[in-house]
Amino acid sequence: MKAMTDPDQLSRQAAEKLFAAWERWDLDTVDSLIADNAVDERPQSGERFVGRTNVMGMYAEVPGPPRIRWRSIVGGPSAWVAEGIVDYGEGPVSIVGIVEVVDSKVTKARFYFADPFDPPAERARWSDAPSD
């Protein structure tokens, strides 16, 4: 396994700091980690925010603050994926965030959201999920 180089470690620290800031809804820290030319996308809604000013303007308009809990953060050295749960006050929704980090700054972010749903009965025998 390859040892992390200093730039790799800095990238990991930036990603972890960013996802932790989103959990606290610490927009000052988020702002400090977004590159001036960053692009933030929401493929499901078709939204694309270009430039740090527009990205941070969008975050300032988010109702809440939302409650976010990341379950895992994996990746590196330049692409990081976090999966977790976000609640905007209407119940929990699964979230996956993918960020690209260059020189300790986020240059691209993409977020996917999924509402929970009941699994089909046909698959119950194959799942180890607890039954009600």
In-domain check, residue 131: no
Q: Flag whether 127 is in a domain.
A: no
The pLDDT value recorded for residue 62 is 92
Q: Which residues of 55-67 are buried (b: 16+ CB within 10 A; e: fewer)?
A: bbeebeeeeeeee
Give the up-direction half-sphere exposure of residue 115: CA atoms within 13 A in the CB hemisphere: 5
Number of domains within the chain: 1
Residue by residue, pLDDT tens for the chain (132 residues) are 555 568 889 999 999 999 999 999 999 999 999 999 999 999 999 999 999 999 999 999 998 899 999 999 999 899 999 999 999 999 999 999 999 999 999 999 999 999 988 888 898 888 886 644
Output the 3-class SS for 105-116.
Answer: EEEEEEEEEECC
Residue 129 domain-assigned (yes or no): no
69 belongs to a structural domain: yes
Spatial separation of the C-alpha atoms in residues 72 and 81, rounded to whole Å: 8
Confirm whether 1 is domain-assigned. Answer: no
What's the CATH code of the domain at 46?
A: 3.10.450.50
pTM, 2 dp: 0.86
Q: Is residue 30 part of a domain?
A: yes
